[in-house]
Amino acid sequence: LRRYIERLVTTARNADLNTHRQVFAALQSKEATKKLINEIAPKYEGRNGGYTSIIKTRIRRGDATEMAFISFV
């Protein structure tokens, strides 16, 4: 997940028509594409990566799946 989202944010920082097309091809949602390009990506203009924070929390009881909180830094 980290690799996927960080590549999208890095691509979205350059807001032009080709960027919109690339991000939309990955997300398949107009609303998500607009939010990523207009709201999220401009916050990380001066940052060279490390946009996400993943904190492992616990193991789920029913099927022993690892749980985690995922957020933008």
Residue 4: predicted pLDDT? 96
- E strand or H helix that includes residue 4: helix 2-12
**Domain ranges for the chain:** 2-72
Residue 6: predicted pLDDT? 95
What pTM value is reported for the model? 0.85
Q: Using DSSP, state whether 3 is helix, strand or coil.
A: helix
SS (H, E, C) 6-45: HHHHHHHCCCCHHHHHHHHHHHCCHHHHHHHHHHHHHHHC
CATH 3.90.1030.10 for domain 2-72: yes
Q: 1-56 pLDDT, tens per residue?
A: 999 999 999 999 999 999 999 999 999 999 999 999 999 999 999 999 999 999 99
Residue 50: predicted pLDDT? 94
